[in-house]
Structure 1
Amino acid sequence: MKKILLATDFSERSDRALRRATLLARQFGASLALIHVVDDDQPRRIVEAEQQEAGRLLRQMAATLRDVDGVACETRVILASPFAGVATAVAEMEPDLLVIGPHRRQILRDVFIGTTAERTIRLVHCPVLMVNAAPAGPYRHVLQTTDLSEGSRDALRRLAALEIAGAARSSLLHVFDAPALRLAFSHAMPKDGQEGHLADETRQAALALAGFVSASGLGDVRQIVRHKVTAAQHEILKAAEEEAADLIVLSTHGRTGLTKLLIGSVTEHVLRASTVDILAIPPMGDA
């Protein structure tokens, strides 16, 4: 990782993202670029005032990063709509990683929550790290997720190349469905039959995951299969809590399963509900 881009709105939550970006920059010896987007759909005097103040704050932050943390830093104020400004900065600066915080202000929140979040994550073509927790050091346990698709395979390989996990423990989660059990609620299957069917499905899911890991060359990773009792996003969040993971990795391009995590209300739920950091990463072919 050579270049990290941080989008900030100067909020307390953005400070968390700044601290994580700084830790990563120091870990990898990477440069750091700080951007702030000023909405240009305002009266000119307001835009100019916000632009001037944002430039001053960014310069102060950059000076601190250079003098205290020893991190090379550049700054830029962008006049645009929030989504367009971030997308433009990513296209021009070509960072290895975009770091954001769960912004509270409505105008920036719209960049990352809801339908605009999907556009941002899908279109910037670089991994996006949303920092939800206050950084206390390097990541300790990274929970990767997969739907066993080619897109997911490529994204996980890109994650390995990014090396953001460092020396952290790494687990790979596959949430599987057992359609026949949904019919069991109509008493189409006795309880012992349900249990046996779930055991068979669990074994098949574990074998499929093991084959996926072997064929993908993902190395030594703890493999977890979990039956989708509730919505997929709930299962992933519950798994992250049970496993004490401090980073959840989602592929943004799959064909089945976890694709649903990045569409509509499911994405909104994951981004808003997670108390740990989330890394949304596209396959290498989308870089």
Structure 2
Amino acid sequence: MYKRMLLPVDGSPPSERAAALGLALAKRLSAAVVFVHVIEPHRYRELRDNQEALERARTVGKALLEQWARKADQAQVACLTQLTSTQPEGRPGVAEALMDAGVAHGCDLVVMGTHGRTGLPRVLLGSVAERMARLAPTPLLLVRGDGLESTLFRRILVAFDGSAYSELALQHADALAGALEARLSVVYVVPDLTQLYRSAGRAWMFTDQAQLQTRLAQEQAHLRKQGELILHEAAGRCTHAPAVHTVLREAGRHLIGERIRQVAEEEQADLIVLGTHGHTGLRKFLLGSVAEDVAQQARQPILLVRNPAALTHPDASHLPPPGER
């Protein structure tokens, strides 16, 4: 499973909540943690002297890291800390600084907090999570600042559609469920062909509405059967989770993401696992997609698992599925 977690901290409530959850998860998995604070002097704009602002930022950052190092020591979790900056060597931003730290320390999971006001475009430290999802070679666990009470995961839900992206998410969800002895639910949402036909402009192909409805009903039934088969095969590939439950749900006139959220509530899931394409970053993947609604509305933490083949960072190494190290 995960061996070393990157926990960015900036002192904000969402960051504190995510770091606490990450520390508890690391203890349960016998993993090490790396607390990283990125110095941002612009936060101290009231100080007119740039050097004074920089020193203040360093002082606050060091104190924050020392605080979390003590917590890790009390929890008996191996810990490293790093104080870094966005300014040296022309580094463009916080996400890049965090990513460099994660790669340097060999981290295989990032745990970050989100404000949860309007979804991922409004994440902790600006748009850091969006860039981390595009650049980092690791899964990203997002913890909402206003979500469910942070506890170790007992019920995990993974969205599965048979694609390579969801297959990798299934592997991570299964391994995590096994390590935490958690119940794993696998959900497949059958898309509504009526909506697909209309959005694709294909309804004109049928001048007879009765013929159209008959054809749609036949194809919809085929999709349901296909979904049942996909779920059956997915459950068979879960070899670590102590209990696996499959859920087939029709989208109907609802968004697929909405259905996933509904199932998460019904299953009382405290973690949702989703695969991402990762070609152009989380923002591209989320906006107008299934995960947008899940990320913006779900109360649960969300584990985003990228496709390793889509990594774009030159220093990123391809990570094997958890448990195959």
Q: Please say which of residues 192-201 and 138-147 is displaced more in the overlay.
A: 192-201
1:15 correspondence with 2:21: no
Look up the SS of the partner of 1:276 in the other structure.
coil
CA contact (8 A) 1:122 1:252 kept: no
1:210 correspondence with 2:232: yes
CA contact (8 A) 2:159 2:274 kept: yes
1:177 correspondence with 2:191: yes
- In structure 1, what residue type is equivalent to 2:111? V
Distance 2:25 2:66 in 1: 20
Q: Which consecutive residues of structure 2, in runs of 5 or more, have no partner in the other structure?
A: 87-92, 117-121, 310-317, 320-325
Corresponding residue for 2:209? Answer: 188
Look up the SS of the partner of 1:221 in the other structure.
strand
Q: TM-score, normalised by structure 2?
A: 0.73
Note the C-alpha offset of 1:158: 3.8
Distance 1:210 1:254 in 2: 27
CA contact (8 A) 1:233 1:261 kept: no
CA contact (8 A) 1:17 1:131 kept: yes
Note the C-alpha offset of 1:131: 1.4
Query: Cα deviation per residue 1:114-166 (whole Å; 9 max; x = unaligned)?
Result: xxx1x311321111111124555421210011220123223322443455761
1:236 correspondence with 2:260: yes
Q: Please say which of residues 233-242 and 174-183 is displaced more in the overlay.
A: 174-183
Query: Are the structure 2 counterparts of residues 158 and 243 from structure 1 closer, same or farther at C-alpha, using a change threshold of 3 Å?
Result: closer
1:5-84 to 2 correspondence within 5 Å? 5-39=6-40, 43-66=50-73, 68-80=74-86, 81-84=93-96
1:127 correspondence with 2:150: no
1:76-155 to 2 correspondence within 5 Å? 76-80=82-86, 81-103=93-115, 108-112=125-129, 117=130, 119-132=131-144, 133=147, 135=149, 137-155=151-169
Q: TM-score, normalised by structure 1?
A: 0.81
Query: Are the structure 2 counterparts of residues 107 and 2 from structure 1 closer, same or farther at C-alpha, using a change threshold of 3 Å?
Result: closer
CA contact (8 A) 1:176 1:205 kept: yes
Distance 2:12 2:229 in 1: 46
Distance 1:102 1:250 in 2: 17
Corresponding residue for 2:174? Answer: 160
Q: Aligned residue pairs: how many?
A: 276
Distance 1:50 1:103 in 2: 22
Query: Are the structure 2 counterparts of residues 14 and 210 from structure 1 closer, same or farther at C-alpha, using a change threshold of 3 Å?
Result: same
- The Cα RMSD (Å) is 3.3
Q: Percent identity?
A: 27
